[in-house]
Amino acid sequence: MKKISRKQLYNILLIAAAVIVLFTPVGTTVKVWLNRVMAFSPSEIPDGKRENIGSYRWDLQSIDGEIYDFNTARDRVVLVNFWATWCPPCIAEMPFLDELYKDYGDRVVFLFVTGEERDVVRRFLDKDNWNIPVYFPVSQVPEKLYSRTIPATWVIDKEGNLVMAKKGAADWNSDSVRAVLDRLLRE
């Protein structure tokens, strides 16, 4: 029988580790942890480069089945987050968003939007005791908020301008995000 060299053993272990990280629940935990560690505070879009979302024509449905008309968010500071329960970067940033929602939920409109089945989302929320307002799109997402990537998060000012935009995991509970929200609420 042929003896395995150190290099071959190393390669086998590397492949095994990659398979575990990519294809098992253990891997999801590792990916979530890595995304959380690598999450930085999102930056603010400079004044001259901000785009207006234009249309507030968008209907959503809450997890409890109530219709939400995005027009009611007009003239308010809004945070829209597109996410999914199976997305490690989405899960990684959830604690940051949850803390932000706990502190600003009465002054900022938070919309956590997903296209998943209600039961799947409910189980996910219950498992970790998340108390975020989850919505499901009923009509087409406004063009300026559309993304093929998740997580995708936008902060919109009272005039409908995109003040922050981030695709991928971010630390939404940072001092800089809180400073932006405080300023937008005062304006």
**Mean pLDDT computed over every residue of the chain:** 88
Contact, 86 vs 169, CB < 8 A?
no
Domains, the chain, ordered by start: 6-36 (no CATH), 39-186 (3.40.30.10)
Contact, 155 vs 104, CB < 8 A?
no
3-state secondary structure of 55: coil
Q: Quick one: the chain helix, strand, coil %, rounded to 5? A: 45, 20, 35
What pLDDT is attached to residue 36?
A: 55
Distance CA 175, CA 180 (A): 9
Query: pLDDT, tens digit, for every residue of 77-130?
Result: 999 999 999 999 899 899 999 999 999 999 999 999 999 999 999 999 999 999
- Please report the beta strands in 21-178, taking only residues with DSSP state E, as ranges in sequence order: 59-62, 67-69, 78-82, 109-113, 134-137, 152-156, 162-167
**Structure confidence at residue 183 as a pLDDT band (50, 70, 90):** very high
Percent of the chain with pLDDT over 70: 82
Place of tokens 């919109």: 156
Helices vs strands, H then E, count in the chain: 5, 7
The DSSP 8-state label assigned to residue 119 in this structure reads: H
pLDDT at residue 57 greater than cutoff 90: yes
Query: pLDDT, tens digit, for every residue of 128-168?
Result: 999 999 999 999 999 999 999 999 999 999 999 999 999 99
pLDDT at residue 63 greater than cutoff 90: yes
Place of tokens 């559309």: 146
pLDDT at residue 41 greater than cutoff 70: yes
Place of tokens 């209907």: 59
Residue of 141, 164, 167 lying closest to 154 (CA atoms): 164
Percent of the chain with pLDDT over 90: 74
User: 154 pairs with which residues across the strands?
Assistant: 80, 165
**Structure confidence at residue 17 as a pLDDT band (50, 70, 90):** low
What pLDDT is attached to residue 28?
A: 62
What pLDDT is attached to residue 167?
A: 94
Kindly compute the dihedral angle of the four CA atoms of residues 14, 168, 97, 46, in this order, to the nearest 10 degrees: 140
What pLDDT is attached to residue 165?
A: 96
- Please report the beta strands in the chain, taking only residues with DSSP state E, as ranges in sequence order: 59-62, 67-69, 78-82, 109-113, 134-137, 152-156, 162-167
What pLDDT is attached to residue 19?
A: 62
